[in-house]
Structure 1
């Protein structure tokens, strides 16, 4: 109830001072975060408390009780009252004043209604990945005013990786009736229409549209395709005909055919955070060559970091581990002029790979020796590390910021892409904090012949990192997804690891 008391204290008892416009999930989250600083509300609550318990106070006699307003009740009592009313009365209450609307925009009442009225839908709040072939996706199911809404989050238009995410509603559940609920499909351009949600199990559900004719446009498939290109790619058909035509037709076919029938969603969790993580883990938008922008989850696992695809493409599908970073082996980049030479960068990275291979052979030999083996792991040699040398594991957490990259305190290390390395955007940071050896997953169309190839992980700042794919001579830039997601925390580290295995197994 403390949450309700914080969120609901707005406006004097005379009524609403302003109307709050409806918006998307970002606006709803912003509204929920406004502080309770209204002195008039504090006065009302103090008066209500005095009336309830003070001898001889205004509440002592029947005459004063008759003058008591519903607006003077404590927020926790209003929550109890509103939660017991039929859903059809709640829209009218939301129009009475800002205070009532604020109460009805919190999760408290709707969580209870999900338990009592919409018990079938109580498990669908949170983050989900749709099963759309190799493409995946990111669905955020939230309580939004008088609805439960499923928002599909989409990357920005290529190649503007720093732009905010786009989102659009796919379905909504009306919380309007006492003993029943209405599910509506929001896909298409003809407005909400009848849909269905089936809870398969706790961490899986499916949606189905019962009026797929609402997905069709009057101009036929050609108009639908052109509209989709403008909305999803921000470009016209003529702009990209020669570049991506075959891939786009396949993507559009899968996209529309899945939504015309039945689509399954599987729960995903945000990665847990630890104090010794290199940066805060989470979701990032990244460039992927001709495939445009995709969503990747960065998570930390001891001395390694992993980038798992939430959205994918025909080569590397969603759910696969696209990059892996070895935090035990830091790469010291050369000066800018030397860095422009791709051969120099390649030499540094391949030297680290060879050193890793030798270490693995040594460890394998020690294991083959069994319990009676006479050898023991050698300590790393002391002394200054040459360019490309590894950073001891125990020093990784200490080597933060510019100091770890060999720059002066408070400065970053200059960075430039080597000549010949392609990038979707030239607007990448020109300084970095540190670099590590990593591997990137590459494959042919249809995820054929997948293999891990060496590369360089470049940490620019808390919200951006990059990866140079050595074999492809390609650079990917990643920018943090700044949206706030509720009900997305893993119940335990084990549950998060199990989730990663599950989504990867779907495309293996």
Structure 2
């Protein structure tokens, strides 16, 4: 029996076990395989198997065209990426939407609104035009889509982009207007309405730094994190408050009996990529309200040793209060938004936080407490800084 005598649906099934490259080779061997290779169902299977791309994402586009002209060349860019911007990092989501690959920068919300969704800025897209040609366009600026080059990195976990017409990025010829517009997006108010002093200096430094990466930037893949059992809080991405630096993104991961919070976005003091938080899961804490009265009370307990005795289980719920004199970086507001009680927590652990001067000079780790309220919310008490940062799970990048 020859292949030509087999039903078309059988040939399609046979081809579905091949790699896309081998499918193209097979369709040149005979008319039967050529006909089978043009069946939409086959390319639906390829798109799903290779890149988890579904009918809903493709829309009215041809699956074969989309795979051979877009996914085959640029499918490796799909996923979640850390932007390689000095000090500041950043988050990039690349997805298939309506038959196009769209790359969107996910910008943290205005401080301290960690409960709010990311602000979104489309950076580039890859699509097939009406003539069947692949288009790779930069979407920045008001000059309309224009050419951008996407280059593979040294591994599949890296890529970079280079805009070919960066002059189209500027929304205004006036530099002051452009800066004022950026300030409004960054902090929610015009610069003349209360942005001054140290905060203005930090914003100027950030603005000048990120402008250097507008037309050229590299990206490193953020590996997917699976759910775990028997952990105090599931790993993942969280938005957190960092005082004058605003809201930043960290990634929680586990390593043995340590919980790490690594910065995905950062600042000139503690840059992206550094471990902002290290939590000692073998040092659970239980404090009553009197012991949390003020920072001196907590420090005294710390010196005396306040961890639970080995083998003793922590209660499912314990008292919590913000010590007198501690700066609240959005905790009460977040609890109001999420309807979380402010006077109880689920768990508390000893840990350390990374602090440094500008330029990551004189970096050191300082005593802190991790306080968990539910699966999506935790706080970090920075004792040396006298502040309480709050973190909310970031799940709106999916």
Task: Confirm or deny a common fold (TM above 0.5).
Answer: yes
Residue 308 (structure 1) shift: 0.5
Structure 1's unaligned 5+ residue stretches are 1-75, 85-99, 353-387, 405-411, 486-508
* Aligned match of 1:292: 246
Matched, 1:413 2:367: no
The 3 A distance-change label for structure 1 pair 132 and 102 is closer
| Selected match of 1:339 from 285, 292, 299 | 292
Check the 8 A contact 2:377/2:392 in 1, yes or no: yes
Q: Which moves more between the two structures, 296-305 or 457-466?
A: 296-305
Distance 1:258 1:334 in 2: 49
Alpha carbons of 1:300 and 1:183: their partners in 2 closer, same or farther (altered >3 Å)?
same
Q: Distance in 2 between matches of 1:349 and 1:191?
A: 58
Measure, in 2, the Cα distance between the counterparts of 1:445 and 1:172.
Answer: 36
**Is contact 2:40-2:63 (8 Å) kept?**
no
Quote the RMSD (CA, aligned, Å). Answer: 2.8
Which structure: greater helix fraction? 1
Query: Map of 1:258-407 to 2, 5 A cutoff?
Result: 258-260=213-215, 262-335=216-289, 337-352=290-305, 388-390=306-308, 392=310, 399=314, 403-404=315-316
Name the SS for the 2:147 alignment partner: strand
Alpha-carbon distance between aligned partners in 1 of 2:44 and 2:347, rounded to the nearest angstrom: 54
Contact 1:271 1:298 in 2 (8 A): no
Q: Offset at 1:340?
A: 2.3
Give runs of aligned pairs for residues 65-144 of structure 1, distance below 5 A. Answer: 78-80=40-42, 102=56, 104-105=58-59, 109=63, 113-114=66-67, 118-144=71-97
* 1:17-46 superposed Cα distances (whole Å, 9 cap, x missing partner): xxxxxxxxxxxxxxxxxxxxxxxxxxxxxx
Task: Indicate if the aligned counterparts of 2:61 and 2:99 stay in contact, CA closer than 8 A.
Answer: no
Mapped contact 1:114–1:121 kept (Cα < 8 A): no
- Three-state SS of the structure 2 residue aligned to 1:121 is helix
Counterpart residue number, 2:164:
210
Cα offsets for 1:363-408 (capped at 9, x unmatched): xxxxxxxxxxxxxxxxxxxxxxxxx22353x666xx5xxx34xxxx
CA deviations over 1:121-168 (Å, ceiling 9, x no partner): 121111111111010001011111121011111111111111122212
Question: Residue 374 of structure 1 corresponds to which residue in structure 2?
Answer: none
Structure 1 residue 419: deviation in Å? 1.1
Q: Which residue of 2 aligns with 1:251?
A: 206
| Alignment-derived partner of residue 427 in structure 1 | 333
Maintained 8 Å contact 2:250/2:261? yes
Residues 315, 446 of structure 1: 8 Å contact kept: yes
Q: Give aligned pairs, total.
A: 345
CA contact (8 A) 2:58 2:99 kept: yes
Confirm or deny that 1:471 pairs with 2:389.
Answer: no
> How many angstroms does 1:444 deviate by?
0.6
CA distance in structure 2 between the partners assigned to 1:345 and 1:107 by the alignment? 61
Structure 2 unaligned residues grouped into runs of 5+: 1-37, 47-53, 336-341
- Report how far residue 106 of structure 1 moved: 9.7
Secondary structure of residue in 2 paired with 1:136: coil
Q: CA deviation at 1:331?
A: 1.2
Q: Which has the higher strand share?
A: 2
SS in 1 for 2:209: helix
For the structure 1 residues 102 and 124, does the alpha-carbon distance in structure 2 shift closer, same or farther, using more than 3 Å as the test?
A: closer
Which residue in the other structure is 1:163 paired with? 116
Show the counterpart of 2:359: 446
**Equivalent residues of 2:103, 2:123 under 8 A apart:** yes
> Could you tell me how far apart the structure 2 residues matched to 1:346 and 1:108 are?
64
State the 1:216 CA deviation: 1.5
Counterpart contact for 1:317–1:447, Cα < 8 Å: yes
- Give the corresponding residue for 1:91: none
Matched residue SS, 1:451: strand
TM (normalized to structure 2)?
0.79
Q: 1:216 to 1:395 in 2, by over 3 A?
A: same
For the structure 1 residues 146 and 332, does the alpha-carbon distance in structure 2 shift closer, same or farther, using more than 3 Å as the test?
same
Three-state SS of the structure 2 residue aligned to 1:167 is strand
Q: Does 1:194 align with 2:150?
A: no
Q: How far has the Cα of 1:180 moved from its partner?
A: 4.5
The two structures have a TM-score, normalised by structure 1, of 0.63
- Contact conserved, 2:150 with 2:161, CA < 8 A, in 1? yes
